[in-house]
Structure 1
Amino acid sequence: MAATVMRSMLSVPGIRERFIEKARDAEADVLCFDLEDSVAWDDKPAARDLLCRVLPDFPKRGRQVFVRTNGYDTGLIEQELDAIAQPWLDGVSVSKIESARDVQRIDDYLTLLERARGLLDGQVKIAAWIENAHAVANAYEICASSERLVGICVGGEDYAVSIGVRRTKGGAELELARRASVNAAHAAGIAPLDTPWTDIRDPEGYEDELRRMKEIGFQGKFCIHPDQLGPANRIFSPPADDVDWARRVVDAYQDGVERNLGAVALDGQMIDKPVLEQAENVLAWSEQIAAMESAR
């Protein structure tokens, strides 16, 4: 179970002050102010300046504030980190990560900035984008590369390009990237987030995809519209029945330990170590969500 709850990460164009203001009321777990895809090349300095002017006073209310930077191939990332590594920043979402070394370079640079500015070591977290075949091949090394890394996001459009196919609504072309990313993230103890659903006119299809992605192990969704937040938060939260089951499992197991029973069962099912761990994970996830939402 990931240490950081990121059921929904909302992309907010970094050059549109009107959208930034609207994000004040967004029910996202993470607000991700974008300096990459939504900002034209010539507008990137202005977007960077706008975020540095507006975000210091932005109300978090239990939400995390991330900035999506450009990748190393643009030559902009160090300028962006220089500008945004400030007390208000919770993390950076970094595009086009291909290797553990890419993450480590960002980690090293953030460490220098934090120490120079009197910030806590490790304050600025990292969410890495897995967006091409190289990144998928290196998924576990990327996920285990830094203690700052709290999540990865699958970038479906760019991944499809990298393997020479067109993106489809069914997403068969993303199956390997999704499953490899989920497995790597869980092995490293971080949160896997699924690629955006781009057809905002099809909310039923969106919810169907959320359920399928939860079933294969994703813990959140990168969202491109505020209307996508509610379904993502709901579906990636444990249902009340699951929380009740988890409490009963933990209580039954603890009762068995106190009574020195060799085996414990609940509703006819033996409570072995995997069942207990699953129940504990459900409770931990539910408690983190409750604590976060109580601040909103």
Structure 2
Amino acid sequence: MSARVRRLRSLLSVPGGSERFLTKARDVPADAVAFDLEDSVAVGDKERARRLVAAALPDFPAEGRELWVRPNALDSGLLEADLDALVGPALHGLHLPKVDDGRTLAQVDHYLTYLERVRSLTAGSIRLMAWIESPAALGRLEEICRATPRLDAVSLGSEDYTAALGVPRSADGEELGHARARLANAAAAAGIGALDGPETNFRAADRFRVQARRARAVGLTGKFCIHPDQVALAHEEFAPTAHEVARATRVVTAYEALGEGAGAVAVDGEMVDRPGYLRALRTLAH
């Protein structure tokens, strides 16, 4: 994964049309906050939500958090007004919905290049994340992941994706296994992050943990959260356990003790070669 991409364990969605939720989010220690102008905002409330988020961004306490906005989709007719109102120095990036191909990202990249230039922002400073929400998008995933150098991550739109397939959501997330694995592999190949989609039953902590563990097991690096209570769960589930850290430390110590060009070393009764050593290094880095 590229050094420029910070590993996000949690991305908290905040409905842009709610002043109460915007205020409450100021104290939630998520790795990133995404102000939503899309699905959580009724059609007649879009303009008001845009104004609220534009007013909240400049003095919203970042304190190590990244501030993102989920604007309306490119084909909605609303995206250009969203960008005009929101692109500025306080905005880290756009969590772009309905990305079905690389051309969508390329078009938004052009918009951002222009706005950065006329607003004296550093070129490329406004980042992108892409929502993968359809079978069509999944089929073009490698193209999407390499469509623009602005892209920091892709995320799985679990609800839209399963609706398009015509299958129900389940407690164990078996129906998302293929999509999660595809997302993780394409993102890793492109050197970007990959986030799991939301668990909509925000009171079911056990269900959130099951979904997060399945996502992490195939290589996803964090999870979209729709409620502040889910943030701490995401941080726990997407961080190495104490046991994993201890074992990784033993692996690195033993392997490096062999010196340069080491082949394999025995750790806890198991032979560990270079791939195991690199995996241990990544565990400790996280």
**What TM-score do the two structures reach when normalised by structure 2?**
0.93
AA aligned to 2:155 is C
Matched with 1:59 is 61
Cα deviation digits, residues 157-197 of structure 1 (max 9, x gap):
21122223343444333232222112211221211111111
Counterpart contact for 1:8–1:221, Cα < 8 Å: yes
Residues 1:87 and 2:67 aligned together: no
2:104 to 95, 102, 105: 102
Q: How does 1:26-37 map to 2 (within 5 A)?
A: 26-37=28-39
Gaps of 5+ in 2: none
- How do 1:128-167 and structure 2 match up within 5 A? 128-167=130-169
Q: Counterpart of 2:195?
A: 193
CA distance in 2, matches of 1:5, 1:247: 20
Cα distance in structure 2, aligned partners of 1:267 and 1:167: 40
Amino acid at match of 2:140: N
State the 4+ residue runs in structure 1 displaced beyond 6 angstroms: none
What is the distance in 2 between the residues matched to 1:188 and 1:269? 31
Structure 2 CA distance for partners of 1:263 and 1:195, relative to 1, 3 Å: closer
- Relative distance call for 1:43 and 1:247 in structure 2 (3 A) is same
Q: Which amino acid aligns with 1:194?
A: D
Question: For residue 291 of structure 1, what is the aligned residue in structure 2?
Answer: none
Q: Name which structure has the greater RCO, CA cutoff 8 Å, separation 6+.
A: 1
SS of residue paired to 1:60: coil
Q: Which residue is equivalent to 1:118?
A: 120
| Distance in 2 between residues matched to 1:163 and 1:99, nearest whole Å | 18
More displaced 10-residue stretch of structure 1: 177-186 or 157-166: 157-166
Amino acid at match of 2:240: P
1:281 maps onto 2:261 in alignment = no
Equivalent position of 1:249 in the other structure: 251
Q: For residues 121 and 254 of structure 1, what CA distance do their matches in structure 2 show? A: 41
Instruction: Give the distance between the partners of 2:145 and 2:268, measured in 1 at CA.
Output: 38
Whole-Å separation in 2 of the counterparts to 1:214 and 1:176 = 13
**Does structure 2 conserve the Cα–Cα contact (< 8 Å) formed by 1:192 and 1:220?**
yes
Identity score, percent: 46
Match of 2:72 in 1: 70
Partner of residue 41 from structure 2, selected from 39, 42, 46: 39
Instruction: Report the Cα offset of residue 261 of structure 1.
Output: 5.9
State the alpha-carbon separation in 1 of the partners of residues 60 and 262 from structure 2.
Answer: 54
Cα contact 1:32–1:93 (8 A) shared by 2: yes
Count of paired positions: 284
Higher alpha-carbon deviation: 112-121 or 7-16:
112-121
**Deviations, residues 218-241 of structure 1 (Å, cap 9, x unaligned):** 111111111111110111011233
Q: Is the 8 A contact 1:4 1:190 kept in 2?
A: no
How much does 1:61 deviate? 1.0
The residue identity in structure 1 corresponding to 2:34 is: C
* Aligned equivalents of 2:237, 2:143: Cα separation in 1: 29
**2:26 is matched with which residue?**
24
* Partner Cα distance (1:113, 1:143) in 2: 23
* 2:38 match: secondary structure: coil
- Match of 1:198, SS state, is coil
Residue pair 1:8, 1:220 contacting (<8 A) in 2 also: yes
The 3-state SS of whatever aligns with 2:98 is strand
CA deviations on 1:194-230 (whole Å, 9 max, x unpaired) are 1111112321122122112211211111111111111
User: Whole-Å Cα distance in 2 between the matches of residues 167 and 23 of structure 1?
Assistant: 27
Is 2:52 the partner of 1:50?
yes
Cα offset for 1:262? Answer: 5.8
- In structure 2, distance between residues paired with 1:234 and 1:139: 28
Structure 1 residue 50, shift from structure 2 partner: 1.1
Correspondence for 1:204: 206
Call closer, same or farther: CA 1:262–1:233 in 2, change over 3 Å: closer
Q: Distance in 1 between matches of 2:225 and 2:264?
A: 45
Take 1:263 and 1:14, find their aligned partners in 2: how far apart are those partners?
53
The separation in 2 between residues aligned to 1:244 and 1:146, in whole angstroms, is 38
Cα distance in 1, alignment partners of residues 48 and 158 from structure 2:
28
